[in-house]
Amino acid sequence: WALAGWFPWLLWAYACCWSTGFCGKVVVWPTDASHWINVKVLLEKLVLRGHEVTVLVASSNLLIDYQDTSSPFAFEVLQVPFTQETLDDAMDEFLNFWMNEVPNLSPWKFMWRMKKDQEIFTDMLKQTCNTFVMNTQLIAKLKQANFDVLIADPLAVGGELVAEILEIPFVYSFRFSDGNVVERLCGGLPAPPSYVPASTSGMTDRIISVFRQITSEQQAHLFCCPSISSCVLQENLCALQTSPFSLDSEIWLIRTYWDFEFPRPFLPNFEFVGGLHCQPAKPLPKEMEEFVQSSGKHGIVVFSLGSMVYNLSDEKSNIIARALSQIPQKVLWRYKGKKPETLGSNTRIYDWIPQNDLLGHPLTKAFITHGGTNGIYEAIYHGIPMVGIPMFADQHDNIAHMRAKGAAVALDFSTLTTQDLADALKTVLNNSTYKENALRLSKIHHDQPVTPLDRAVFWVEFVMRHKGAKHLRPAAHHLTWYQYHSLDVLAFLFTCTAIAVFILVKCCVFCCRKCGKGIAKRKKE
Ligand SMILES: *[C@@H]1O[C@H](CO)[C@@H](O)[C@H](O)[C@H]1NC(C)=O
Ligand SMILES: *[C@@H]1O[C@H](CO)[C@@H](O)[C@H](O)[C@H]1NC(C)=O
Ligand SMILES: *[C@@H]1O[C@H](CO)[C@@H](O)[C@H](O)[C@H]1NC(C)=O
């Protein structure tokens, strides 16, 4: 800790502790990349409220800077067996695959590559998990520290195991799974495919929704409990549990909200805290502000493909640059690759942009985005219409939501032409319905009794104070699939009905025969 910088914070934090009478200890099993950017905001707020935050971090990672001495968190570094280079190469390969190779692949080659990529990353996550489990010294130290809660993300294999080892409750921060499989099977969250679209299937197609729910089922084993059994501690925690998915988070902090989601059933231990990282815009750096002001009445367009994609092929970057040069707005483009030859005089390239501050600038007219949840939420927060160029992960789903809400135009990255991008930009900039819809979402987002960040903090603290939130846990976790769908009850009722009908029919037949015989007798007489 750089105590000097944090001293005022600390004072304030202790004041908080005194007033609430509770300072806790939080340990974090983080997911890297954009997930980290999001959860970091929550952790910073927890530090501000007087809690101690310790992050378990792999020595090779993408965005978690554990050497940053000004960080408010304590880090425990796990010396993982894979090198930074291996990780960076895998990431480059992954991005290259999605950005340059996908359009030329046959569907089944594509599936095979997807599976291979997933294995590579899951393997590194497992190695990280193993490194932790085998570090008995660290485990002893952490146990002694008496943590109150663990914060994890189901996509980082092993969080639930770490919590189990440290014997503390855990909270998930989560956004997305294909076919809603993780929330459904690990969290027990109902998601009827008839009206809750299975992610990435688009918004309306019910056949695809049902199909994706079924096909995604086996993926659950990657993320739910069996991720644990793949760790060194084979002697399966799963075996101890009544159902494979009963090692469940106390609270799920879902990184969306009703401005983004469509109404769906949810459980009391699910809290929708989308946009918790968003803040009012701060002033821009001087040079950037001057450039923005030079746009005059036309305003500016902000363009970023996210924290991971910083490099495009020459062909793509020229296609994009040419389209950008055709609009009257000034464009601020976050890009680290080679400067494209067709770059217009209205476009400036930056290594890094203060994205939230730019989106909150009064002159900002549109946002060109890859569709990551963080960026989408910054646009919703500030009411900025979008042009979406989704590539992988939850990005297609995010853009599909925004398009369905009328706040975005979607483009296909692999077939992108200059004309497509130019047209999309002109539509979003000229047709006021996109701006109106974005503003409508923004108003919904801001009109909440408690901010998403405060709600997230409340529930983490709740779990710390009460050592869990078991009273919010649905009994669904203890049911088998046929009990869950009440098939056993239906079978029982069906059997009862069948027996009753059978007896009734038998009686009728018996009576009829008797009557028939009686009548026949009388006739004879
Ligand atoms: C990114 O840049 C490097 C070097 O500048 C280049 O070798 C690589 O091919 C680029 N990646 C893509 C996707 O074009
Ligand atoms: C968009 O609107 C501007 C000004 O209102 C106009 O000059 C321009 O031609 C319009 N573009 C399109 C594609 O309609
Ligand atoms: C603007 O966009 C909306 C939604 O796509 C469309 O219904 C409407 O016709 C457009 N308006 C104009 C003037 O093009």
CA 430 – ligand 2 centroid, Å: 6
Tens digit of each residue's pLDDT (9 = 90 or more) over 300-318: 999 999 877 877 888 899 9
Q: In whole numbers, what is the pLDDT of the chain averaged over residues?
A: 86
pLDDT at 151 over 90: yes
CA 431 – ligand 3 centroid, Å: 6
Q: Report helix, strand or coil for 312.
A: coil
Pocket flag, ligand 3, residue 495 (CB < 6 Å): no
Least confident span in 67-81, 140-154, 163-177, 426-440: 163-177
pLDDT of residue 178: 77
- Residues 336 and 307: their CA atoms lie apart, in Å, by 11
Ligand 2 nearest atom to the CA of residue 430, by list position: 1
Q: Choose the final residue of a domain: 397, 428, 446.
A: 446
pLDDT of residue 245: 41
Of 523 and 364, which is predicted with more confidence? 364
417 & 459 share domain: no
231 & 152 share domain: yes
Q: Which of 311, 315, 339, 370 to mutate to test the pocket of ligand 1 (most atoms within 8 A of CB)?
A: 311
Task: Pull the structure tokens for residue 412.
Answer: 């296909």
- Residues 249 and 472: their CA atoms lie apart, in Å, by 11
Decide if 496 is inside a domain.
no
- Residues 234 and 224: their CA atoms lie apart, in Å, by 15
Tens digit of each residue's pLDDT (9 = 90 or more) over 334-355: 998 889 999 999 999 999 999 9
Pocket flag, ligand 2, residue 426 (CB < 6 Å): yes
Pocket of ligand 1 (CB under 6 A): 96, 99-100, 311, 313, 337
Decide if 354 is inside a domain.
yes
- Kind plus residue range of the DSSP H or E element containing 308: none
Tens digit of each residue's pLDDT (9 = 90 or more) over 88-102: 999 988 888 888 777
pLDDT of residue 93: 87
Tens digit of each residue's pLDDT (9 = 90 or more) over 79-89: 999 999 999 99
- Could you give the number of structural domains in the chain? 2
pLDDT of residue 231: 42
Of 147 and 515, which is predicted with more confidence? 147
CA 328 – ligand 2 centroid, Å: 10
Task: Pull the structure tokens for residue 490.
Answer: 């239906």
Tens digit of each residue's pLDDT (9 = 90 or more) over 202-258: 556 778 888 878 877 766 655 554 444 444 443 334 433 433 444 678 999 999 999
pLDDT of residue 184: 82
Q: Over range 58-70, report the average pLDDT.
A: 91
Decide if 507 is inside a domain.
no
463 & 440 share domain: no
Q: Which of 433, 434, 435, 437 to mutate to test the pocket of ligand 3 (most atoms within 8 A of CB)?
A: 433
Q: Which ligand is nearest to the CA of 391?
A: 1
pLDDT at 159 over 80: yes
pLDDT of residue 219: 63
373 & 357 share domain: yes
Tens digit of each residue's pLDDT (9 = 90 or more) over 465-485: 999 998 998 888 778 888 988
Determine phi and psi for 297, rounding to 5 degrees: -75, -20
Ligand 1 nearest atom to the CA of residue 95, by list position: 13
Ligand 3 nearest atom to the CA of residue 434, by list position: 2
Question: Residue 251 pairs with which residues in a beta bridge?
Answer: 171
Conformational region of residue 21, where left means phi above 0, alpha means psi within -120 to 50, and beta covers everything else: left
196 & 298 share domain: no
Decide if 195 is inside a domain.
yes
Most confident region among 11-25, 78-92, 147-161 by mean pLDDT: 78-92
pLDDT of residue 84: 93
Decide if 347 is inside a domain.
yes
pLDDT at 273 over 60: yes
72 & 111 share domain: yes
Least confident span in 17-31, 306-320, 498-512: 17-31
Decide if 316 is inside a domain.
yes
Decide if 112 is inside a domain.
yes
Ligand 2 nearest atom to the CA of residue 429, by list position: 1
For ligand 3, atom 11: residue with the closest CA: 431
Least confident span in 48-57, 238-247, 272-281, 367-376: 238-247
Of 398 and 10, which is predicted with more confidence? 398
Range of the domain at 51: 24-276+452-472
For ligand 2, atom 8: residue with the closest CA: 430
Write out 211-279 in H/E/C secondary structure: HHHHHCHHHHHHHCCHHHHCCCCCCCHHHHCCCCCCCCCCEEEECCCCCCCCCCCCCCCEEECCCCCCC
- The CATH number that applies at residue 418 is 3.40.50.2000
131 & 168 share domain: yes
Task: Pull the structure tokens for residue 348.
Answer: 């400036």
For ligand 3, atom 3: residue with the closest CA: 433
- Residue pair 456/44 in contact by the 8 Å Cβ criterion: no
pLDDT of residue 5: 56
CA 433 – ligand 3 centroid, Å: 7
pLDDT at 261 over 80: yes
pLDDT of residue 13: 56
Pocket flag, ligand 3, residue 431 (CB < 6 Å): yes
248 & 317 share domain: no
83 & 160 share domain: yes
Of 128 and 118, which is predicted with more confidence? 128
C-alpha to C-alpha distances, 90 to 40, 41, 120, 132, 309, nearest whole angstrom: 24, 27, 8, 22, 13
Q: Over range 279-283, report the average pLDDT.
A: 95
132 & 148 share domain: yes
291 & 269 share domain: no
Q: Choose the final residue of a domain: 429, 446, 463.
A: 446
Q: Using 50, 70 and 90 to split pLDDT, how confident is the model at 115?
A: confident
442 & 457 share domain: no
Decide if 116 is inside a domain.
yes
CA 61 – ligand 2 centroid, Å: 46
C-alpha to C-alpha distances, 427 to 18, 218, 274, 337, nearest whole angstrom: 54, 41, 27, 28
pLDDT of residue 246: 46
Q: Choose the final residue of a domain: 431, 446, 461.
A: 446
